[in-house]
Amino acid sequence: MNCEVLRAELALPQYAALTEREAAAALNVKDRDTLRPISSAELLAWSGQVGRFGRIEAATVDANLSAEIQTVARVAHRMICRDTTQLDLSLPDRMAMIDALVGAGVLIVDAEKEIDEKAELLAIATVKVSRAEQLGLGEIYEGHVQKARAQ
């Protein structure tokens, strides 16, 4: 556990009036969304629903789509098919790839039909973490807070 990081966090106003126990509890609440990489198995399962895999595969050779979109579709197809691949939507270039497939109509976002395949991917990738986890501290105990405040 990095006492410097914890001390800096505890110096923020929201922790000033809290006891060591309350501060530790506040830091450990899993109330923050973060994106985790989506595994190849999860991608394959997601793509197997409602014709997604077929649409992505067809887009790799669709003459009506630009060469750029065909290439993005090829990359997406390989990510789905290749074992041990991960799709990390926290990376801007990966989100750009998804946005390109949505823009070309390969992935569907249609509010009227209540279909949002991009949002479904984001939901798979989203997990709740604590502030302590965001800071790379792991679980915080009362003693950690006491030690950090004493320094």
- The pLDDT tens digits of the residues spanning 13-60 come to 999 999 999 999 999 999 999 999 999 999 999 999 989 999 999 999
For the segment 93-149, what is each residue's pLDDT rounded down to a tens digit?
999 999 999 999 999 988 888 889 999 999 999 999 999 999 999 999 999 999 999
- For the chain, the straight-line distance linking the first and the last C-alpha, in angstroms and rounded, comes to 14
Bridge partners, 110 (sequence order):
115
How open is the CA angle 83-40-59, to the nearest 5 degrees? 100
The tokens for 18 are 């809290």
DSSP 8-state symbol, 130 = E
User: Pick from 106, 99, 14: which is nearest to 65 by CA?
Assistant: 106
